[in-house]
Each structure stands twice: as structure tokens, then as C-alpha cells.
A and B are shown apart, each in its own frame.
Chain A
């Protein structure tokens, strides 16, 4: 069987997809340990052998960073693990992260031809398997140092877009400084995505890999305040800059009572829990107050993460969504995980007021019922309020997870950066270049894809465009 893709096709493709093992809901919902366990070796090999090894693979164009998916799967099927690692990392600097948090079902796996008749190959789970195999079997490479006279470039923001761009720029040979405003690198991977979906050992190791590519990571630097773009270029000698500051501005609902104590934006709630490790309070000093009943408002992945964190902190959790489960923007898998763990979904519910007690702490949400009307601009059916349907949902903790927009801080600090109405930077769609020559942008500050992998795709494309820009300059 080994070494022959045809035989692996014959032996594997007709078999059902191997399910990714997960810890049972009742067990996992009580701690912050990882939910999905990853394939054991047998399952990984069996799944790898399901791949048809298409001559013109449709999965590769479905991957924003263009991983040679059939090649890494073939190497895995043939148990050439190191080769599989090499193929993956040739295009993806963060495979352990992507294998866990990418929405593969709407990207590479959606394009898998097996999916037409059967189920698609579990590409994401295989990517994770290879990344984890590397972590368990190979030492981190020794640190590289860039040539001292190489041109200097800066990357602003160390989320998935920034990390990817920084890694590629280091590989092109530049001296790269990656600036992060928080005290630890990772951006949304650190403050937003919880430990039970992305263990910090995985994140730390992939960040360390990027550091060893020669990237100088400087935390506690808020570009726009600590140092301006102009100073980076004209005083500190950076010849090109990539802005990847994400979508860090939380939306609130602007309903009465929203400033009561106990009401958090999802950003605040998740930052306390994930970045500041409030779930380990008081050993870690940042508190998060979670009462007996938590209400989370929203229907995206951030809402799911908020629900599942609150659950793990010992609260009963109700998810209030204005449409129905079918219209939720969150990954179906994550909605399923949340509900299996005990989150109660209350569909067609629109909060109109937050009610508080004497001390100024929230006690309940006043809501109205909705029904689905005509589709709106997003193509989803619009919720229409049912008059006279007011009712109360008791809650002593409320998390508002109704989307976020780009943090305006950096754009406001540099008037030459042109900004669109939605707060995103105006960029050249092919290169990611902003309205300032030599300054590029990607991820949620420039586009509204809102996924880790889309930001990484932007980072990769911008790194290439920056490389071309700098070659033209010299």
C-alpha cells in the first residue's frame, strides 16, 4: 500500500469520514482543557488514504494560503511525516492553529470532490495531526538572525494576519519587527479564542517558531500612540509597514441599562478570561464576575466562545439570538458544541432593555419576540418584532456579542490613511497597499471576512506585495 497513491485511493475513498474524537460534553464543559482531541495515528492514516489525490485539486484554491493539500496528505498517507510537515509549513506558518480554528467546512473541505457524493476528507483534522506530530517529534529549529544590513520592515498587530506577514517577510530576508499593543503576542488568538479551542501551548509554540524565523516581537507598543507610523518610517528606518490591527472595537446595542455592572462586551469578557486568565483567579489577579445565570446576546463565533467560557465558569447560560439557528453566522460545529455542553438557545429574541437592582448590577433582560420577515441585505431573513411580546430573561451576567468593527485608533493617528465608512482601511484589492505608499494592510482592519485564515491569506499576499514593492525601490 505504501508509496502508491492509487492503492490508497482504492482502499480509502469509499470509506466514511473518520470522526474527530472529542471529550464528552459533560466532562469538557467543566474545564478549559481542549475539546477536540485530534486523530490517533490509525485514524489519521485511514483518513489520509481517503484522499483521491486529484490531478487538478479543487481543495487548494479553496485554501486562502494555498497549501498543497494533496501533497501533504499523500506524505502523511505514506507515513513520510517530516515531508508532510514541510509541505504544510511551506505555505502555512501556523498549521497547529489553522488545523484547530479554520472553518474548513466552508473552505478547502467545501471544495473536496469526495464531498459531492460522500463526505469530504477531514483536511483540517489532518492538518492538525501533522502539526501536532511535529510538536511531539521534532525540536524547534534554531533561531535565525536576519542579515544586519537587510532592509527593515514593520508589522503592526500580532494576530494571525500579522504573524503570517512577519514570517513570510523574514523568509524573504528582511529584518522584521512585529509590534503588539498587549503584553503577549497572538492578537485574537490570545485574547479572543479560548484555551479549550486553541491551547496556549500550541499558540506559544507557533509564535516561538515565528520568532525563530528572525522576527523581533515587541509587545507593549501601541502604534499610533507609543510611536506613529510616520516615526517608524522616517525616524526608525522601516521601509515598509503592514497594518493588521484587527477588529478590536466592540459594538454595544445602545439600549437602556447597558452600562449596569455585570454587562460585558464579548471583547472584555473574553479578554479577562483568555488573555488575563481570569478563570484561574485569584492565582491570576484579574477577576471576571460570572453569576448564576448568564445571557449572551449574538449568534457569531464570539458569542459561542462567550457562552462556553461562561458555562465553564459555572454559570447557566442562555444564548439570545434575534433570528433562528439556521441564520447564525457561527460555525455549525461550534453551535453544536455549545448546545451539547448545555447552552440553552433562545431564538427570535431581541433584548430591548437591561434591568438592574439598587446596587447598579444587572438582574434581567427585557426582551421582545421576533418572527422572520423578508431577507435583508445579508440575504438572511430579517427579524421582525412581535408587538406586545415583552418578557424578561433573568440574568446576573450579560455578554454583548453583537459584532465588532476595526479599532479606529491607528487610522485616526495618521490622516493620510483613507478609511471607509465601516472603519476599514481603503486598500488596493490586489496588493493590500493603503493610501500611503509602502504601507499595506490586511485582515479585519481592511476586509470583513472575520476569519483567522482570511487574515492569514491577506498577510501572505501583502508580504509578497511588500517584497515586490521594496525590490522596485532598490
Chain B
């Protein structure tokens, strides 16, 4: 019986891990912008993760995640040779990749992993790529060489100034726009505040902007509506109508509030896991 075996695992940055997982059917079909629903074990939650890379010949996909919640921490604890309970995909609409000219790709934090396949796809059809990658500090930046290789220009920035420009991705983008740089299209992927700030800026400059959203999902197939977002005053299901949307139309404030709905339960799971770990360590330390 084939399974979703982890065939490679590597740390990309502090708390950020790349995992290559056997999923031949997904690997054959997945395109830039699509995601999978994944379950670590039989008790596990179903979580959406963007597919960062694929190898259809090997039958694998690469997922990248930051260990922030219970499930992503649990996933990070899995090793090469282990099996994941479930991988369903590819889900969502693939990104509409067109030749537009100069495309500025703005990514923050773990969003760098998700913009990578889009950078690749937009470069492949002949766009000139200008990449702006940002993170809290330099040890959270990754895929820099991979993205540099596809970009005409690469700009790095960190919140603490440890690498590149001391500031936010929006500071860099504003600087470029004010200097007179012009782009036909912008792709922005990252934390909600970053995407919101980017779209506010690009709206001022009339720069069409695509964002990729990751709201709470349960099934990922359009069945539950947990992922509903308001886009241009209309309710959309991000799992089947997205996850890409016109960033100028997304209600980010509502999205942020909906994402926080289960924060308390997440803390409870993390606390429980921490207690269990402390207990195990305590037990091991006993004579």
C-alpha cells in the first residue's frame, strides 16, 4: 500500500522546514498556487499547505511550513521514513500565469515558500521578475538563491536590519515605486498584515496585485465554508474559488478576525504538548 512517506527533510530557516513527501497523483497534477490538505496522524487536524515544489517523475511534492501551531510543530517532529496520515490535492485554482512584463513578487516570512512556485511560473513565460523578500531577521530568510536565480532584481529586507534593508517589504516596494520603477503586476504572499499593507500601497499606485490567502479550512473541497472570505463585497470560498484573489478587493480585517477564532483552542493544544514534553523530560531526568 502506497503511503505519504517523507523522503527528504531539511531545515530552511529557524522554525521553517521543507519536507518532500510521496504523493504521486498530486505531484503529477499540481500547478503554481495550489495547495494540499494534510493530516499528520489519525487524531490530527486537516491543515492546508501550499505546495512549494514538485517532482512528478519521483512522485513527490515539497511542502514548506513554519512550526507555529500544534499541527505544524507535530509535523516538524516527523522524520524521513515516517508516513503522514493523509495528503489530499491538488486543491484550489492554479494561479493564472500570463506574460505581463515586469512583475514584482513580494513575500514575507514563510510566504517566501509559497511565492517561489509563482516566481518560477511567471519567469518561465517570459516575465521580468523583481523579487522583494522580507522576514523578521536574517535567520528566517530562505530560498534566497533559488529566487535570485529567477529574478532580474532581488531585494532583501529584515525587520531588525540583520540583512538587507532595515525595514518592511512595503518600505522597499514604496522606495522602488517612488524612484520611478514601474511594474505591470504584483504578487504578494505572506502574513495578513503584510499582504494588507502591500495592497494598500499598490492600490495607491494602481498596480494590480494578486494575493494568496490561507484562511481556516476543514475539508478544503468547498464543503464546509470555514474559509469564506469577502472579496469585492462578495463571499468566496478560498479553498475552491481561491486561494488567489485580487488583493485590492479582499477584506483583510475580516480574514484576520476569522483566523483568530480558534486561538484559544490552539493555545490549549500547545500547552498540552508542552506539559507532555516537560513530563517526559522530567521522567527521563529522574534517577
Question: Which residues of A does B touch, CB under 8 Å?
Answer: 181-183, 191, 219-222, 225-227, 248-250, 252, 254, 258-262, 264-265, 267-268, 271-272, 276-277, 281-287, 289, 359-361, 407-409
Contacts and interface: CB of A to CB of B under 8 A. Distances in A.
Contact of A267 (B45, B225, B258): B225
A281 B265 contact: yes
Contacts of B223: 191, 248-250, 267, 271, 407
Interface string B62-95: 0000000011000000000000011111110000
Given A249-B223, A261-B260, A276 B272 contact: no
Most A Cβ at <10 Å: residue of B25, B218, B228, B257: B218
B261 A252 contact: no
**In terms of DSSP, what is the predominant structure of the interface of chain B?**
mixed
A222 B152 CA distance: 38
A244 to B, nearest CB: 15
Contact of A181 (B88, B224, B265): B88
Contacts of A248: 221-223
A407 B90 contact: no
A222 B261 contact: no
B38 to A, nearest CB: 10
B25 A359 contact: no
Nearest to B228: A259
Nearest to B266: A287
Contact of B89 (A226, A250, A285): A226
Contacts of A359: 257, 260
A264 B221 CA distance: 16
B222 A407 contact: yes
Contacts of B172: none
Contacts of B265: 281-282, 287, 289
A285 B43 contact: yes
Interface string B32-64: 000000010001111000000000000000000
B262 A289 contact: yes
A202 B257 CA distance: 40
B201 interface: no
26 contacts: A183-B39, A219-B86, A221-B88, A225-B91, A226-B26, A226-B29, A226-B88, A226-B89, A227-B29, A249-B222, A250-B224, A254-B235, A259-B235, A272-B218, A276-B45, A282-B265, A282-B268, A286-B45, A286-B46, A289-B264, A289-B265, A359-B260, A360-B257, A360-B258, A407-B222, A408-B222
A308 B139 CA distance: 50
Nearest to B34: A225
B159 interface: no
Interface in B179-227: 218-219, 221-226
In the complex, which range does the number of interface residues on chain B fall in?
35 or more
Contacts of B219: 181-182, 191, 271
A60 B268 CA distance: 53
Contacts of A409: 221-222, 240
A267 B221 contact: no
Contacts of A249: 222-223
Which 6 A-B pairs have CB atoms at the shortest separation, nearest pair first? Answer: A360-B257, A287-B265, A268-B224, A261-B261, A248-B223, A265-B225
B221 A285 contact: no
A227 B25 contact: yes
A115 B81 CA distance: 62
Contact of B258 (A226, A227, A261, A283): A261
B88 A220 contact: yes
A189 to B, nearest CB: 14
A286 B25 contact: no
A271 B224 contact: yes
B54 to A, nearest CB: 14
B91 A262 contact: no
B17 interface: no
B254 interface: yes
A220 B218 contact: no
Most A Cβ at <10 Å: residue of B229, B240, B258, B261: B261
Interface in B232-287: 235, 240, 254, 257-258, 260-262, 264-266, 268-269, 272
A118 to B, nearest CB: 43
Contacts of B15: none
Most A Cβ at <10 Å: residue of B45, B85, B86: B45
Most B Cβ at <10 Å: residue of A226, A248, A258: A226
Contact of A183 (B85, B226, B260, B266): B85
Most B Cβ at <10 Å: residue of A182, A260, A271: A182
A342 B264 CA distance: 28
Contacts of B87: 220
A222 B86 CA distance: 13
B262 A287 contact: yes
Contact of B225 (A221, A250, A262, A408): A250
A265 B279 CA distance: 39
Given A183-B86, A225-B91, A289-B261, A259 B230 contact: yes
